[in-house]
A = this chain, B = another copy of it.
Amino acid sequence: MTTPQLTKNQSLVFDVLEKAEGPLSAYTILDKLRDHGFRAPLQVYRALEKLLEYGVVHRLESINSFVACAHPGDDCHSHGIVAFAICESCGQVMEFHDHEVDHRLMGWVRGQKFKPEKTTIEIRGLCEACAA
């Protein structure tokens, strides 16, 4: 997916996510953008919808939050599964791809005649700093 020019709201939301230390909820993003004229959740959700579509932002299902992609420009996203390690203490997120994991999962679903659309892999735990 090639990323088109972002609109004003999309840029604002994306900038907030890029500058953030970790994942943010839609309502946290909303609060950070009130000074820029944001008033309603929908302004955030609509921007996020596009940013997710363009692949520049990921949604973390297990914590209802959003994070800027850590590998911008990496076309792995278009044909591979992304996995996340999320620190439950500091919120830091690590993002990675593994073709072997991808292979195993896709092999299994194919055997079940299941047609995959979207896969979520999220590992919650403690990062090195927080586990110490």
Chain A interface (Cβ within 8 Å of chain B)?
61-62, 83, 85, 87-88, 94, 96, 98, 100-101, 104-105, 108-109, 112-128, 131
Contact partner of A101 (CB less than 8 A), chosen from B96, B105, B114, is B105
* Shortest 9 CB-CB contacts between residues of A and residues of B: A113-B128, A116-B125, A117-B125, A61-B62, A115-B131, A115-B126, A120-B122, A119-B123, A61-B61
Closest B residue to A99 by beta carbon equals B104
Which residue on B lies nearest to A92, using beta carbons? B114
Q: A61 vs B59: C-alpha distance in the bound complex, in angstroms?
A: 12
**Residue from B88, B100, B116 in contact with A123 in the complex, judged by beta carbons closer than 8 Å:** B116
- Residue of B whose beta carbon sits closest to that of A106: B123
